Amino acid sequence: MKTTFAIILSASFLALPAVAERAPQTMGQDARVRSVWYNPSDVIRVDTNLRTNTAVELGRGERIEQVLLGDSEAFDVEVLSNRHTVSVKPVIDGAHSNMTIYTSRRVIAFLLTEGRSQTPTYRVAVQYPDDSKPTKTVQRDSGVRDTGYEYSGAGQARPLAVWNDGTATYFEFRQGVRPSIFAIDSNGYEMTVNSQTRNNVVRVSGVADEFTVRIGDEVICIRRTQGGRTSQQTIVRSLAQKEF
């Protein structure tokens, strides 16, 4: 009987479905700012810490209609006035709960934990494959570059140069600097961008009027200005060599 029971028990474990959680990844040099790609069949794990507020940002086009929380005594959860950001703060040590958010467009499942990671998470941006489109795109002119950008703020997050070719915006930083870059939407909110990095240059898909660059507590605001388009070939060739 013991042998038969062991075989049945083992078979029942083998029949159990695999449990997979999608953990947010760092967006730049600062691990406290993270992003995660949405998949309707996945659960997104958000690791939190006591005395730290974590903002879960669902992005433009999402309007939160309802939030279901498994353990309301373990976490304080609040929907912000923009209706696409949720504030999550654990109130007990080792808290653990599921959270399901219903928006105007989809259902997103989360697993909330406390104390699992020693690095606090300040922001988690949820990205969607069908929404990763350029903010603003114009036809590319291989013989013209737009270098008209003004900066406010100082520190290592400040780019050495910013320019666009009509289809992508390029940010050149000091060697070893890996900041987080956000575009600013028409309502003044930061939104995640599609980006790639090669050496000390970051390529962001699309052209936006405003960007925010962050490293830790450093914030650099970048605004596109008029009159920055140039067809001077020495400048165009120099910038094109850094593009990818």
Grouping H, G, I as helix, E, B as strand and the rest as coil, residue 80 is: coil
Return the pLDDT at 53. Answer: 96
Q: In this predicted structure, what is the pLDDT of residue 105?
A: 87
Task: Give the pLDDT of residue 164.
Answer: 96
Locate the domains of the chain by residue range.
19-131, 145-240
Dist. CA 93–CA 40, nearest whole Å: 30
Its sign, for the CA torsion 138, 228, 243, 179, is negative
Structure tokens at 30: 């600062």
* pLDDT tens per residue across all 244 residues of the chain: 444 434 333 444 444 444 557 778 776 678 899 999 888 889 999 999 999 999 999 977 788 999 999 999 999 999 998 899 999 999 999 999 999 999 988 999 999 999 998 889 999 999 887 654 445 545 566 789 999 999 999 899 999 999 999 999 999 999 989 888 988 887 777 887 888 899 999 999 889 999 999 988 899 999 999 999 999 999 999 999 999 9
Q: What is the dihedral of CA 103, 108, 111, 112, to 10 degrees?
A: -30
Element (H, E) at 88: strand 85-90
User: What pLDDT was estimated at residue 96?
Assistant: 95
Tell me which CATH code domain 145-240 carries. 2.60.40.2500
| CATH code of the domain occupying 19-131 | 2.60.40
pLDDT for 7 equals 38
Asked whether the whole model's pTM tops 0.85, one would answer no
Q: How far apart are the C-alpha atoms of 6 and 9, rounded to whole Å?
A: 5
Domain 19-131 matches domain 145-240 at the CATH topology level: yes
Residue 139 confidence (pLDDT): 55
Single-letter code of the amino acid located at 180: S
d(CA 123, CA 161): 27
* Token reading at 50: 């006591």
Q: Closest by alpha carbon to 192, among 211, 178, 216? A: 211
Can you read off the two tokens belonging to residue 115? Answer: 């104390």
Helices (H), the chain: 2-15, 233-240
